[in-house]
Amino acid sequence: MTLLPKLLIVDDQANNLFTLREILKELENQIEVIEASSGEEALLQVMNHSFFLILMDVQMPNMSGIEAATLIQRRQNHHTPIIFVTANDNEKSTIRRGYGAGAVDYIYKPIEEDFLISKINVFLKLWSQEQQLLAKNKVVEEMMASVASNNLALQHSNKELEDFAHIVSHDIKQPINSIIGFTQLVLNHGENLDDRQADSMRRVISSANRMTGLINQLLEFAKVDTDPFTNEDVDLDIVIQDVLEDLQDLIGKSHAKISVGPVFTIHNNFHHLYQILLNLLNNALKFSKPGINPEISIDCQQINEGTECTLIISDNGIGFDSKHATEIFSPFTRLKTTEHEGSGIGLGTVERIVKRHNGHIGVDSTPGIGSTFTVHLPIHNINTPSQL
Torsion of CA 208, 210, 212, 214, to 10 degrees: -140
pLDDT (0 to 100) of residue 387? 35
* DSSP-assigned beta bridge partners for residue 293: none
pLDDT class of 372 with cuts at 50, 70, 90: very high
pLDDT tens track for 317-367: 999 888 877 778 876 566 655 555 555 678 888 888 888 888 899 999 999
pLDDT class of 35 with cuts at 50, 70, 90: very high
- Among residues 229, 221, 226, the alpha carbon closest in space to that of 154 is found at 226
Q: Of residues 125 and 189, which shows the higher confidence score?
A: 125
Is the pTM here over 0.85, yes or no? no
Mean pLDDT of 240-266: 91
Domain assignments of the chain as residue spans, ordered by start:
6-111, 153-223, 232-383
pLDDT tens track for 263-315: 888 888 888 898 899 989 998 998 899 889 999 999 999 888 778 889 999 99
Percent of the chain surpassing pLDDT 90? 26
140-144, 258-262, 314-318, range with the lowest pLDDT: 140-144
What is the amino acid identity at position 259?
S
Asked if the model's pLDDT at residue 385 lies above 60, the reply is no
Q: Could you give the 3-state DSSP secondary structure of residue 311?
A: strand
Asked if the model's pLDDT at residue 378 lies above 50, the reply is yes
pLDDT class of 93 with cuts at 50, 70, 90: low
What is the pLDDT of the chain when averaged over all its residues?
82
β-pair type (257-260, 295-303): parallel
Report how far residue 203's alpha carbon sits from residue 210's, in angstroms, rounded to the nearest whole number: 10
Q: Which CATH architecture has domain 6-111?
A: 3-Layer(aba) Sandwich (3.40)
- The domain 232-383 having CATH identifier 1.10.1470.10: the answer here is no
pLDDT class of 373 with cuts at 50, 70, 90: very high
Element (H, E) at 188: helix 173-188
- Among residues 258, 282, 255, 275, the alpha carbon closest in space to that of 341 is found at 282
Report how far residue 280's alpha carbon sits from residue 345's, in angstroms, rounded to the nearest whole number: 11
- Write 171-175 long-range contacts (CB < 8 A, 24+): 172/215, 173/212, 173/215
Asked if the model's pLDDT at residue 157 lies above 70, the reply is no
Radius of gyration of the chain (CA): 38
β-pair type (232-235, 265-268): antiparallel
Q: Of residues 240 and 385, which shows the higher confidence score?
A: 240
* DSSP-assigned beta bridge partners for residue 257: 295
Q: Of residues 132 and 336, which shows the higher confidence score?
A: 132
Report how far residue 52's alpha carbon sits from residue 32's, in angstroms, rounded to the nearest whole number: 10
- Burial (0-12, 13-18, 19+ Cβ within 10 Å), 1: exposed
Can you say whether the dihedral through the CA atoms of 192, 196, 200, 206 is positive or negative? positive
